[in-house]
Structure 1
């Protein structure tokens, strides 16, 4: 729902950003409101300097104290908390449809949702029973706009986002997964993160697409690499405070100047770009699969639900990009993903970064 609200606001001409709070706490044991709040506060000046007028956040809070962890760190923001609710039957059905939760947890989810009905925690509440996503988003926007204390805009102020983002603490190593659309950057990168974390290595993970989403796009930076680089540096400083020493990133790195823009804000980092490669047939198959709803569910996957013709055009562009990267010899490490299960690809990557797994004797 957060993504749909973001989409509708930006289409109306309001420069809007989107952030899923889960995406800024991907570190072993780091899924706390305190970490999310600190990381959000570190990114806030960067969104403001990009001209963002409204930032849509998706995440959960259950108590006033949890809300306060965020609001106290952003006293210049005008906050609106919107709770989406649904009846017990439909909530349980949605929960089980996700498929990756234990069924017995569904009843706990329903009980927690019912408790929120009497909490009075949020500013507005929108019932989603029987409504399509775009319709609910429209109701949310209408209710937010009708609040008498709703602020019309975020002002840029006199913020130096680079100084705010850059930390003196530098990572020992950054591993960046790049490649064409649908080659598997996020899937492989996140699985490498999971396995490295399970080995006891103090590591964090970031998907660049999830930390720099603002629309309408800026003419001088249509991919928002400037914003993403600043937010990457800001988040890394937060992860460093929480003990992380290594960072895994997934995102586009199509040119050397793109990579250097990020590296410049991570002083002292050893940055290795791992380019994943796949042929046209594989990319077309994966694009089609995502169009049908396959693969991991991430906010803003705009391939899902597209027509056959649109998916074909995306696949053709991905194949063109993959070939261009191949000709350029992009990346220090090249790994093919054609006809290979994810674990096989991950195993090859781990063989190249085996030194990480020996940190602190683990």
Structure 2
């Protein structure tokens, strides 16, 4: 996300960057909403107008999207946005070493299992307007692939006919 944000900056595009995990980080967990999804959306609704008022044209948002229907959540939180869901298709054997370098203890085990579960869900449910295969490219290269694919998606009269990169 940082590489994409920097690319947009170099191209003169005003962009805001938000990690949904940060917007819903709260302890203890709520049994009725263990991922604090509602809190995250409320926080996004509260901060987007501040970014927009300062000229942000792009909102780079990271989140685990489990279903295509989640689009409606983002559309409500960021009114008048053209929501484009980008899924990075990363081989699981590339994901796990990253997690091992970042997580510890029971968190590591949970994230290892969750990454496999999420990847399967996203593939089976067809999550992603734009799907970017990632396997060893530098972040700046992935950022360029994302930006090019998103711009093509926006220009395409029928986005469903857009070839996948």
Partner of 2:139: 133
Deviation at 1:127, TM superposition (A): 1.3
CA deviation after TM superposition for structure 1 residue 149, in Å = 5.2
Residues 39 and 135 of structure 1: is their aligned pair in 2 closer, same or farther, counting only changes over 3 Å? same
2:87 aligns with: 83
Q: Give the Å deviation of 1:33.
A: 1.9
The CA deviation string for residues 185-218 of structure 1, in whole angstroms up to 9 with x for no partner, is xxxxxxxxxxxxxxxxxxxxxxxxxxxxxxxxxx
Please, what TM-score do these two structures have when normalized by structure 2? Answer: 0.78
CA radius of gyration, larger in: 1
CA distance, structure 2, for counterparts of residue 40 and residue 105 of structure 1: 24
| Richer in helix (by share) | 2
- Unmatched segments (≥5 aa) in structure 1: 151-362
| Corresponding residue number in structure 2 for 1:48 | 52
Q: Note closer, same or farther for the CA distance 1:82–1:45 as it changes in structure 2 (3 Å cut).
A: same
In 2, Cα distance between the equivalents of 1:64 and 1:114? Answer: 14
In the alignment, is the contact (CA less than 8 A) between 1:82 and 1:123 conserved in 2?
Answer: yes
In structure 1, distance between residues paired with 2:140 and 2:99:
20
Matched, 1:34 2:38: yes
Describe the SS at the equivalent of 1:130. Answer: coil
**2:159 — aligned with what?**
none
- Decide whether aligned partners of structure 1 residues 59 and 50 sit closer, same or farther in structure 2, where only a CA change above 3 A counts: same
Show the counterpart of 1:21: 20
User: Is the contact made by 1:17 and 1:47 (CA closer than 8 Å) also made in structure 2?
Assistant: yes
Q: Secondary structure of the residue that 1:56 maps to in structure 2?
A: strand
Residue correspondences, number = 149
Deviation, 1:4, is: 1.1
1:9 aligns with 2:15: no
Q: 1:115-134, aligned counterparts within 5 Å?
A: 115-134=121-140
- State the 1:74 CA deviation: 2.8
Give 1:310-325 correspondences, 5 Å limit. none
After TM superposition, give the deviation of residue 108 of structure 1 in Å: 4.0
| Structure 1 length-normalised TM | 0.38
Q: CA deviation at 1:145?
A: 0.8
CA RMSD of aligned residues (A): 2.2
Quick check: 1:91–1:110 contact (8 Å CA) kept in 2? no
Dislocated runs of 4+, deviation >3 Å: 64-67, 101-105
Q: Structure 2: how far apart are the matches of 1:25 and 1:66?
A: 16
1:292-331 to 2 correspondence within 5 Å? none
Mapping of residues 32-181 of structure 1, within 5 Å: 32-100=36-104, 101-103=107-109, 105-148=111-154
Aligned partner of 1:199 in structure 2 is none
Conserved 8 A contact 2:65-2:122: no
Unaligned runs of 5+ in 2: 157-165
